[in-house]
């Protein structure tokens, strides 16, 4: 019984010490460099999103043009929809 009690105490102590390791550390204060890096990353992501939107628009126009061409070849009359033109982001 004495050995079992020692094992339980050692296990309990190990569990208590391991929870201290898992404690959440405080967030360090934001430096001007990290703030500038965050802003640059946000600007890069926004520019990427604009370019992705442009590429999607171009692909949709190409798909629509192919559809209208094949529909015309089959003798169907399909009126193209009105939509804004694709504008390449600068």
pLDDT, tens digit, for every residue of 6-46? 888 888 888 776 766 667 778 889 999 999 999 999 999 99
Name the residue with higher pLDDT: 14 or 67: 67
Question: Domain residues of the chain, as ranges?
Answer: 33-66
Tell me: pLDDT of 1 over 70: no
User: Mapped to the 3 state alphabet, what secondary structure does the chain carry?
Assistant: CHHHHHHHHHHHHHHHHHHHHCCCCCCCCCCHHHHHHHHHHHHHHHHHHHHHHHHHHHHHHHHHHHHHHHHHHCCCCCCCCCCCCCCCCC
**What integer is the mean pLDDT of 57-71?**
94
Tell me: pLDDT of 51 over 80: yes
Query: Using 50, 70 and 90 to split pLDDT, how confident is the model at 63?
Result: very high
């Amino acid at each position: 019984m004495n050995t079992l009690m020692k094992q339980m105490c050692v296990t309990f102590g190990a569990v208590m010490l391991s929870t201290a390791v898992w404690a959440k550390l405080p967030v360090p204060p934001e430096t001007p460099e990290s703030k500038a890096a965050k802003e640059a990353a946000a600007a890069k992501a926004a520019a990427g999103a604009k370019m992705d939107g442009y590429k999607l628009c171009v692909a949709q126009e190409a798909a629509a043009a192919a559809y209208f061409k094949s529909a015309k070849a089959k003798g169907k009359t399909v009126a193209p929809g009105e939509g804004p033109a694709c504008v390449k982001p600068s």
